[in-house]
Structures are given as C-alpha cells and as structure tokens.
Amino acid sequence: MEQDKGVRFTPPPPQANLASTEKTSGEVAAVGLSRLRPTGCFGEICPSNMAIDDAAQIRIAICGAGISGLALAAFLANLDHESQLSVDLYESSEEVRMSGAGIAVWKRYWDLLRDELGFEHACVDLGFSAPDWTQVKGPVVRKSDTAGAEGHHFCALSHGPTVIPRSAMSSIFAGKLDPSRCGLHLRRRLAHYDETTAPDGRTTTVLRFEDGTKAECDLLVGADGVFSRVRRVLFRDQPDLARHHFSGQLAYRMSCNAEAVQRLRAAKSDHAALRGFTIWSGRGKHVTSNLVGDQIQMSAWDNVSEEVLSAWSDTKVCDVPRESVSHLFRSWEPDLVSLLNHAGDTASRWPIYVAARLPRFVKGGHVALVGDAAHGMTPHQGLGGGQGIEDAFVLASLLTHPDARRGVLPDVLATYDEVRRPASQRVADQSLANGHNFAFLGSSGNGDHPCLTTIRQELVTACDWLMDDDGNCKGEADKARALLETRLRSGHGHGLFDATR
C-alpha cells in the first residue's frame, strides 16, 4: 500500500485584511474555506507530518475536518507552546466545508472561543457583530394545536444562543492553525485502522484509507460525525454501539422567501411568525420558525417509529412536497397553517440520527472520540456543536499538559473520558427531553392536557447553566488537568484505567 503523502495548507491572511465591510456568508466561504484547500506548498505535494524526526513528539491524526476536528486542531495549535505535538487532519471530502447555514453558539462556548482563539475580533473583522448577551433572547413557546383557535404563549426563554455562519467559523479556526505542524489531507476516507507494536515497544496506530493509502499516528481522534467510521471500528464487536440510531424524530426544513413574507404580512400584520423566534408546540409534533433578515426559516418536527422510517424507500435526506408537511398540522392554529402554506414548494426531510450511549469515548492511549462521533444528539437546544468544541478544548488542554507524553497517553485519555463522557451524555439527554417537551411527550405532557407550567419550568431550567459564568469550559479543562495530575502523582499512572473493555 502506498504511504499517504499529505499536503500542508496556509491559513487565511491576518483577519484585518479579510474584511473592512460586511461580508455575506458566501463571501466568507470564498475567503476562508478556499485557503483550507491544500495550497500552502504552491501545488506541490508535501510529506505528511506523520514523518517526523523528533521521537518525543506525539503524532495526532484527526479524522474529520468539521467543527470538532477543526476546533481540536486550533486549540492544540494555541496551547502547544512546547511544540510537542504533530497534527494531521484527514477529511473525506474534496474540500473542507461545514453543512448548514449557521451554528448555534451559547455564551458558555462564545466565552471560550473569545478568550482562547480571539473569536470576537475575528468575527468583527469578517463583518459579523459580536453578540450583546443582554440582547440575545431565546424563543417563545406557543401552544398551537387547537384547530381554529389562536394559540397562546406559555413560555418565553430570556436567553438563547447566537448564530455564527459555519463558513466564518471554519475560516477563523483555519486561521489559528500552524502550517508547519498541521497537515491537511483531502479525499481521505477512513476504511479501517489497527495497531502495531514496533521492536522498541512503541505502539503505532495504522490508518488505512479507501483509496489504498495509509498513515501512522500515536493517537487517532475520531471527529467524523454521527456516522463515524472511527466509532464503528472501535466498537466493531458491539454493533449496537458502533452504529448510529434513529432518534424517532423527523425534521422538515423549509422557508418562506421575502415575497412570501410580504404576502403573510399583508394578510395579517400581527401574524405570530413575524414576532421572532417561535416554537409552535402540540401533541406529538412541533414547529420552529425564526425571522432571519427578510425570510422565515422553519423546521417542522414529527415523532415517528423506526418501523415507519424503515418502510420508506429513502431513509436519507430527501425533498418532499410542502403539502406533505402542512397536512401534518392541518388541524392546528390558523397562524401556523397559513405560515406553512406560504412556504416554498418543497421541504427537505431529515431523519435525525444519534449515537448510542457509549460506555467509553476512548481506547487505551490510542483512540478517542469527540463531537457527534462520541455523543451525536438531537438538536433541540443547539448544543451539538458547542459540546464538540468543549470536547476539543478539554482534550487539547490535557494533551498539552507539561507532563503529557506518549507513555502517559492512556491516563490522558482516561481523564478526558472521565470528565467529558458523563457531562456530554447529560446534555444529550436534556436535548431529547426538550424535544419531547415541545411535543408534549414528556412526563408533563399528559396527553390532551399537558401541564404547561411544569413544561415551562423544565425548559427554563434546561438553559440556565449555559449562562452561568461560574461553570464554564475553562473550569472543566482545569478540573481535567487536576485529575490528570492526581492520576500521575498516584504512581499508578499507566494502566490505572482499563479502556479496552
């Protein structure tokens, strides 16, 4: 098999040169993402960073250049003051890109990105305003499932996330990478990996890609999403843990264009959808709508069984007629019915998949999972991306600890697992509970007579911790580093945690 020859890339130029006037997300993509293509060697092929001379360096391979993978590479570049790490990013696509228009970023994660990576100045330089958290409000939640009757608000969340264009986020992350110690490898889809032991006792993980190339590393990080190939290999003897699972929820994504919004406004000037971010709740279903610029973006949610999903000919993302969505809500309040009828002719149907509740995110000192590969969750609180960023920061903080060397990687990963697995799984549970509350399916739903007071309190409580300055990502990283130091001081160190089971 051919040894992989990677390519290095140059990050964007200094942010001050990127934008003095506001740019659209498409323009940001042109400026930022184009520089994520492997052009840093002026078209020539550069040797992979895996071939390094310093035997003391830890060779890290990150599979997946999405939010979590790029964040991990950026945090490592920012924290690795002793140059003890060599990083390679492997991406299966032909270019680095993030699907979707924007990513929800709560204050907890914004503070981290601002303080560690200078996101506030970078966003301003790209033409996107930094959030004023006193003005960032959450949605109002509205009971809407009574035919012919106007719905009513029963919950207004006082805070919520800001939204950063995904193209801007990836551009900023790219600008933080060190091209001398970080290689980018496109069109590299992982097929398998295995471990080999050299005569000197050093264990190496060998990555084997579908195009026949291979590479070696000391630590493989799976940042390859909810359909993770790294996770599938890690749990190959436990299929239910290896595979992704249908959440029981379908999202129909659609929008009203500017002309449709004008017609909606002309028909009813105080239409509920024109007031801002709204969640329309009812028995078994809900709809989210938000006025973004001169358009209204919507997601209609339905809860179905896996048997229903498997009966369809296409269980992946596909377009469906608008009428198939509006029919689901035909007996709901008039404002929602009219909103759906003003949407475009087609909706994009997304089955929502999640990861199983894993017993571990790591194996020994050689493999770790971050982001959706570890805890792919439903999006009912906008926390999937933020949790991946927190994973990346905690793992980077441990890997750049002064005492972190290859010999203690099992302890580094054991500490990461101890800190991040319970926390992220609690968030995944809460996100699903939010979705059930929106659809009156939680313990307070009670069929035709939901306890709206209890649902309101549960939704408010679910958000409060995200605005708490005392409990933040840097505090979690500090806790992880302290745990690692305790583990190493104990004298047990390597082998204290058995991550092979």
Instruction: List pLDDT tens digits, range 371-405.
Output: 999 999 999 999 999 999 999 999 999 999 999 99
pLDDT of 358 higher than 50: yes
Which of 54 and 251 is assigned the larger pLDDT? Answer: 251
Chain-centroid distance, C-alpha 193? 24
Domain tally for the chain? 2
Within a domain: 340:
yes
Both 211 and 337 in one domain: the answer is: no
Residues 6+ apart with CB under 8 A from 176: 11, 74, 77, 78, 117
Instruction: List pLDDT tens digits, range 48-68.
Output: 444 444 456 899 999 999 999
Both 394 and 418 in one domain: the answer is: yes
pLDDT of 446: 59
pLDDT of 466: 82
Both 214 and 325 in one domain: the answer is: no
Domain boundary among 355, 388, 412: 355
* Domain span holding position 259: 245-355
Within a domain: 409:
yes
Q: Averaged over 238-255, what is the pLDDT?
A: 95
| Spatial distance between the Cα atoms of 11 and 70, rounded to a whole number of angstroms | 12
Within a domain: 331:
yes
| Spatial distance between the Cα atoms of 353 and 378, rounded to a whole number of angstroms | 8
| Spatial distance between the Cα atoms of 163 and 186, rounded to a whole number of angstroms | 28
* Token pair listed for 189: 């889809």
| Spatial distance between the Cα atoms of 40 and 124, rounded to a whole number of angstroms | 26
The enclosing domain of 281 has a CATH number of: 3.30.9.30
Quick one: pLDDT band at residue 468, thresholds 50, 70, 90? confident
Instruction: List pLDDT tens digits, range 294-353.
Output: 999 999 999 987 777 777 666 689 999 999 999 999 999 999 999 999 999 999 999 999
Positive or negative torsion for Cα 400, 392, 202, 411:
positive
Helices (H), 21-165: 25-32, 67-79, 107-117, 119-125
Angle 462-464-465 from CA coordinates, rounded to 5°: 90
DSSP result, 429-493: HHHHHHHHHHTT-STTT-TTS--HHHHHHHHHHHHHGGG-TTS-HHHHHHHHHHHHHHHHHTS--
Both 361 and 350 in one domain: the answer is: no
Both 203 and 266 in one domain: the answer is: no
Instruction: List pLDDT tens digits, range 165-218.
Output: 888 888 899 889 988 889 999 999 999 999 988 777 778 999 999 999 999 999
62 in Cβ contact with 230 (< 8 Å): no
pLDDT of 202: 78
Both 313 and 405 in one domain: the answer is: no
Quick one: pLDDT band at residue 492, thresholds 50, 70, 90? low
268 in Cβ contact with 218 (< 8 Å): no
Within a domain: 228:
yes
Both 272 and 402 in one domain: the answer is: no
pLDDT of 39 higher than 80: no
